[in-house]
């Protein structure tokens, strides 16, 4: 499970190139490196599951998050490409796209921002890390053996 993620938010006009690069390096290149280093192992075993944690922001974009949206959209492309490369070897590659999840990263937001985010979610609440973990456990199980190249939104209906 490739779950590393950071944010360095800012409008493109004022975003430092180093902040753009750091988000791409952690959020996208980190997943690429992990996949690259496990690729031949999975091919030899003719079995495996790769799960990339992307974001609904990778599907929709978000003002002030061009770097984050680019990295998460890139993860979707990486997921689909790797899925096509490894499918014939019994290896699946899927992505989970969380919406607003109550985590340490979102705890830093003000209560006002959290309330405004929850207001636009059809389920009217943030998700939990367990919601993502249960989806990952399903994708890693034999019950998901015929699912590959998919992006599963876990977002309370936010991006529908």
Catalytic residue numbers read: 68
Residues in Cβ contact with 70 at an 8 Å cutoff, skipping those fewer than 6 apart: 20, 23, 24, 28
Identify the helix (H) or strand (E) that includes residue 48: strand 48-53
SS3 labels along 5-55: CCCCCECHHHCCHHHHHHHHHHHHHHHHHHHHHHHHHHHHHCCEEEEEECC
Identify the helix (H) or strand (E) that includes residue 77: helix 66-86
Question: In degrees rounded to 5, what are phi and psi of residue 8?
Answer: -145, 75
Alpha-carbon distance 81 to 85, whole Å?
6
């Amino acid at each position: 499970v490739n779950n590393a993620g950071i944010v360095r938010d800012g409008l493109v006009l004022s975003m430092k190139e180093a902040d753009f690069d750091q988000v791409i390096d952690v959020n996208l290149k980190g997943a690429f490196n992990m996949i690259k280093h496990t690729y031949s192992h999975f091919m030899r075993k003719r079995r495996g599951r790769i799960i990339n944690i992307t974001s609904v922001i990778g599907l929709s974009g978000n003002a002030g998050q061009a770097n984050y949206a680019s990295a998460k959209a890139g993860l979707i492309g990486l997921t689909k490409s790797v899925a096509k490369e490894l499918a014939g070897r019994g290896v699946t590659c899927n992505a989970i796209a969380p919406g607003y999840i109550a985590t340490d990263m979102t705890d830093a937001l003000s209560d006002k921002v959290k309330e405004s985010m929850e207001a636009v979610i059809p389920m009217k609440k943030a998700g939990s890390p367990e919601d993502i973990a249960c989806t990952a456990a399903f994708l890693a199980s034999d019950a998901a053996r015929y699912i590959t190249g998919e992006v599963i939104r876990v977002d309370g209906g936010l991006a529908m």
